Amino acid sequence: MSRTPREAAEAAIAADRAHDDPAIWIARPPDAAILERAAALEAEGPRGRPLWGRVFAVKDNIDVAGMPTTAACPGFAYTPAASAPAVAALEAAGALLLGKTNLDQFATGLVGTRSPYGVARNVFDAALVPGGSSSGSGPVVAAGIADFALGTDTAGSGRVPAAFGNIVGLKPTPGSISARGMVPACRSLDTISVFAGSVDLALAAARAMAGFDAADPFARRLPWPCPAGAERTYLDRAAPPPGLRIATADIAALCDPAYAGVHAAVASRLGAERVDLSIFFALARELYAGPWVAERSAALAGAMAASPDILHPVTRRILEDGLSRRSVDAFRAFDLLAETRRAAEALFARYDAILLPTAPFCPSLAEDRADPLGPNLRLGTFTNFANLCAMAAIAVPGGFTPQGLPVGMMVLGPAFSEGRLAGIADAVHRAATDRIGATATALPQAAAAAPLGAQEAALFCIGAHMSGLPLNGALTARGGRFLRVAATQPVYRLHALGGRPGMYRTGGSDGAAIAGEVWAMPLATLGALLAEIPPPLGLGSVLLQDGSCLGFLAEPVGLAEAPDITACGGWREWLAARRSATA
């Protein structure tokens, strides 16, 4: 970043003044206080802090020490003595707080209009809703005021405003960032989210906040063993692998035509395959029809009982509706949830990610006034199921309607797949636009894939563990991330052992270069991977054209009866030749 903290603060204040939308904010310190803190940061110097001088805003259902937390309900407000761990982590990383942003009251809504503090302006068309519930956090980035902003996401609140503002919305894996200091909507589903101009900045902010918090009862541990200091490697950016598999669905009937058209173009460009996602859409409909409405009511039962008049009329209507939910309906919904989670496991065993529109349309303010519930329900068509299924998601710009309105696309993956999704999402973003939000600011250059970490080993894969092939999930489920394509030195031979190849080093001059992929694997997971490899296969040192690393090898004695496929140059090439021969 080329700007100093003071220059960044001055630019943010000037952009805020030029945009002139007080409904973005619920609380903002005086300019002098912001500039004073910026000067202090500048005097300290970067000190290795990754977000030094980056200006950020915080949705006003997340605590900032000494500033009231209102959740867009003045009668609920309190002033915390300590910041939420997520906010404290960002400031420790050098970020500069600009203020607290507006929201749909108690984060209940996707339209962004349910606040007594006004309605933030949609930066592309003032007649349209800004999206919610993070209705100030999206526009504050889209208007070029803040570099990034914190939102929260239960049903899509960290993604829908990003779609309407032509920016990035990163919805982390639920439980990966501490939820302490956040006013709950549905505690079992909520997550703090990040709005940013680029995927890389959103990842950087998430990396600063992420980590298991034992004091948060809904915190989630990594599903693979991880030594101290390597807990956040899943947020390291991976390169999109050559065998990338993207699933999508026929969504034309669920979207406005222009949105469906943008989705079709992006899906075609990525080679996405249509699959049946109907069970996910069915679960999405349960979020506001099933027991999770009651969970919202439970979270705010005290306020409802003591002072129901402090609630926004639409919010009160929704929360009161939750009090009438029946246990039998809850268990029916929980059954569907279990079935959908199992369907997600099966889907991600075959595909790297799901591609969907972020929202099916953008309603107008007039439509929202005429029907305060209907448009809001429709906005969650593609977002509602993500947290229920513990998915990670990145919403990015996907294109524009003929009227010049942004259309968002969303890339979803299993829990803790943010780094693997980043390259895919960033490619979609850059194909759609080279500008941030509604500004003339150019997208920064894309970051390269993160280099091999101290707690990772490079693993050269030559067969079914490569991207797009049946055993690749054994790598990704253990935190593996693709680094690059590679080839061995010309000293190996390759044989076909049924569904896997066997490679060995020759003792003479009859070897060849074998193509494969280099993956970064957490050191702590290699033992479990080795235990799954049947003889005569194993792991050993492999000589590559650009060095050496751990890789899959075979004992030559076990290959005597296996066909020699060295001439194909690699396993993927042999599979293609076999398909061609049988076509």
pLDDT, tens digit only, all 583 positions of the chain:
579 999 999 999 999 999 999 999 999 999 999 999 999 999 999 999 999 999 999 999 999 999 999 999 999 999 999 999 999 999 999 999 999 999 999 999 999 999 999 999 999 999 999 999 999 999 999 999 999 999 999 999 999 999 999 999 999 999 999 999 999 999 999 999 999 999 999 999 999 999 999 999 999 999 999 887 788 999 999 999 999 999 999 999 999 999 999 999 999 999 999 999 999 999 999 988 778 888 888 877 777 776 778 888 888 888 877 777 788 888 999 999 999 999 999 999 999 999 999 999 999 999 999 999 999 999 999 999 999 999 999 999 999 999 999 999 999 999 999 999 999 999 999 999 999 999 999 999 999 999 998 899 999 999 999 999 999 999 999 999 999 999 999 999 999 998 899 999 997 789 999 999 999 999 999 999 999 999 999 999 999 999 999 999 999 988 988 999 999 999 999 999 998 888 6
Q: Where are the alpha helices (DSSP H) in 248-393?
A: 257-270, 278-286, 291-299, 301-306, 313-322, 327-350, 365-370, 374-379, 385-388
Rounded CA gap, 193 and 458, in Å?
31
Give the residue numbers marked as catalytic: 59, 133, 157
The DSSP secondary-structure symbol of 309 reads G
**pLDDT for res 228:** 78
The domain ranges of the chain are 5-226+244-432, 456-582
Rounded CA gap, 14 and 480, in Å?
44
Amino acid occupying residue 15: A
Pairs from 20-24 (Cβ < 8 Å, separation ≥ 24): 21/120, 21/121, 21/139, 21/143, 22/118, 23/102, 23/115, 23/117, 23/118, 23/119, 23/120, 23/121, 23/136, 24/101, 24/102, 24/120, 24/121, 24/136, 24/139, 24/140, 24/143, 24/145
**pLDDT for res 540:** 96
**pTM summary value:** 0.95
**Strand, coil or helix: 303:** helix
Cβ atoms of 284 and 382 within 8 Å: the answer is yes
Which two structure tokens, joined as six digits, stand for 286? 């349960």
Closest CA to 472 of 491, 500, 493: 500
HSE toward the beta carbon, residue 522, CA cutoff 13 A? 25
Residue 523 exposed, middle or buried by CB count within 10 Å (0-12, 13-18, 19+): middle
Cβ atoms of 108 and 97 within 8 Å: the answer is no
**pLDDT for res 1:** 52
Do 5-226+244-432 and 456-582 have matching folds? no
The CATH superfamily holding the domain 5-226+244-432 is: Amidase signature (AS) domain (3.90.1300.10)
Cβ atoms of 410 and 393 within 8 Å: the answer is yes
What would the CATH number be for the domain defined by 456-582? 3.10.490.10
Cβ atoms of 566 and 550 within 8 Å: the answer is no
**pLDDT for res 298:** 81
Amino acid occupying residue 489: Q
**pLDDT for res 195:** 99
Which two structure tokens, joined as six digits, stand for 318? 């929704």
Rounded CA gap, 298 and 292, in Å?
10
